[in-house]
């Protein structure tokens, strides 16, 4: 496994690969969710490149950039075990020279949900992902459904700007009790870890109501909120039932709907989602 710390090193190693390349961009502190992406990339491509880069431009002033968990040694060992060919791990000045001033933005899709709660977040995401795509030149790139808005925004960006790769969204990986895997779960103290299950429980409730024929988004949303509010350690940021293409809130659920939520449990703000009706 090669480790590239500069763009030039990455390009040099990339040049030596033949055939298709699967790319998994990460912010490190890897868990089974990331590794499932690496495995799918491994299965579908001749080579696999992963990146580890905690991207400063997607964190707001009140976000946890400097506190974001890091464990590079463990990450590299995990990636090696999955037969990753190249790991790209640049430092911030390599990706953002002092006078950098170009941005990629996706309108509309980024207004609500995470974009509503974290202004500027998606501009940072789409810009770093564009840069990484141009540097790595992958055939396919893999993103987890856990960060569903991010995945859909990147898919839209790649399509709108005619980027030469396929953006693939992979299923959320969960702990055995249902909690969606996230690097931020490490912040949860034991009682919060238990309380955090309320996200998955509320999604299950939505699924159940939908399966029983409920099609009013408002009624499902209200029942989810009631359930979450019974958990004193949970503080709702949003509970959304939205169109899967436009991410606009729905009144009535048609063929399918994206149910997503952000809930603060102790320090971390946790995300989860499911798609009602069919797989996304």
**Residues catalogued as catalytic:** 34
Residues 114-153 that bind its own copies (CB under 8 A): 126-127, 130-131, 134-135, 137
- Contact present, 237 and 269 (Cβ < 8 Å): yes
Identity of the residue, 46 or 105, whose beta carbon is nearer to its own copies in the bound complex? 105
- Identified binder of its own copies from the candidate list 8, 105, 186, 225, rule CB under 8 A: 105
Contact call for residues 22 and 138 (beta carbons, < 8 A): yes
157 binds its own copies (CB under 8 A): yes
> How far is residue 178's CA from residue 237's CA, in Å, rounded to a whole number?
20
Minimum distance from residue 142 beta carbon to its own copies (Å) = 20
Q: Does 161 bind its own copies (CB under 8 A)?
A: yes
DSSP, res 132: H
Residue 242 as a binder of its own copies (CB under 8 A): the answer is no
- What is the residue whose two structure tokens read 């939520």? 261
What is the DSSP-derived secondary structure letter of residue 57? G
Beta carbon nearer to its own copies, 3 or 7: 7
Nearest to 201 by CA among 221, 227, 223, 175: 227
Select from 44-52, 96-104, 191-199, 262-270 the region that touches its own copies (CB under 8 A).
96-104
- Of 2-31, binders to its own copies (CB under 8 A) are 7
What's the closest the beta carbon of residue 2 comes to its own copies, in angstroms? 19
In which region does residue 247 sit, left (phi positive, over 0), alpha (psi from -120 to 50) or beta (all else)? left
* 236 sits near its own copies (criterion: CB under 8 A): no
CB of 261 to its own copies, least distance (A): 24
Q: Which two tokens stand for residue 71?
A: 């464990």
Q: Is 156 in the site for its own copies (CB under 8 A)?
A: yes
Nearest-angstrom CA–CA distance, 57 and 40: 28
- Cβ contacts of 225 within 8 Å, gap of 6 or more: 236, 239
Residue ranges that bind its own copies, judged by CB under 8 A: 7, 100-109, 126-127, 130-131, 134-135, 137, 156-157, 160-164
């Amino acid at each position: 496994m090669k480790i590239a710390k500069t763009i030039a090193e990455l390009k040099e190693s990339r040049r030596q690969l033949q055939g298709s390349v699967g790319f998994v961009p990460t912010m490190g502190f890897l868990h089974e969710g990331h590794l499932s992406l690496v495995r799918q990339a491994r299965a579908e491509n001749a080579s696999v490149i992963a990146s580890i880069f905690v991207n400063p431009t997607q964190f707001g002033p009140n976000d946890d950039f400097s506190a974001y968990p890091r464990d590079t040694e463990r990450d590299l060992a995990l990636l090696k075990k999955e037969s990753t060919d190249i790991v790209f791990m640049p430092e911030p000045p390599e990706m953002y020279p002092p006078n950098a001033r170009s941005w990629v933005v996706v309108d509309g899709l980024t207004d609500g949900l995470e974009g509503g709660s974290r202004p500027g977040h998606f501009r940072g995401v789409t810009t770093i992902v564009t840069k990484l795509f141009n540097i790595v030149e992958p055939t396919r790139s893999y993103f987890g459904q856990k960060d569903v808005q991010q995945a859909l925004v990147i898919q839209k960006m790649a399509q709108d700007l005619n980027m030469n790769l396929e953006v693939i969204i992979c299923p959320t990986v969960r702990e055995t009790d249902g909690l969606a895997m996230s690097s931020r779960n490490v912040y949860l103290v034991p009682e919060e870890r238990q309380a955090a299950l309320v996200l998955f429980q509320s999604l299950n409730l939505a699924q159940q109501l939908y399966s029983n024929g409920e099609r009013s988004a408002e009624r499902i949303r209200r029942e989810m909120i009631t359930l979450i509010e019974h958990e004193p350690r949970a503080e709702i940021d949003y509970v959304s039932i939205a169109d899967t293409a436009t991410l606009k809130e729905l009144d009535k659920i048609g063929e399918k709907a994206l149910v997503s939520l952000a809930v603060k449990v102790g320090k971390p703000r946790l995300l989860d989602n499911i798609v009602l009706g069919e797989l996304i």
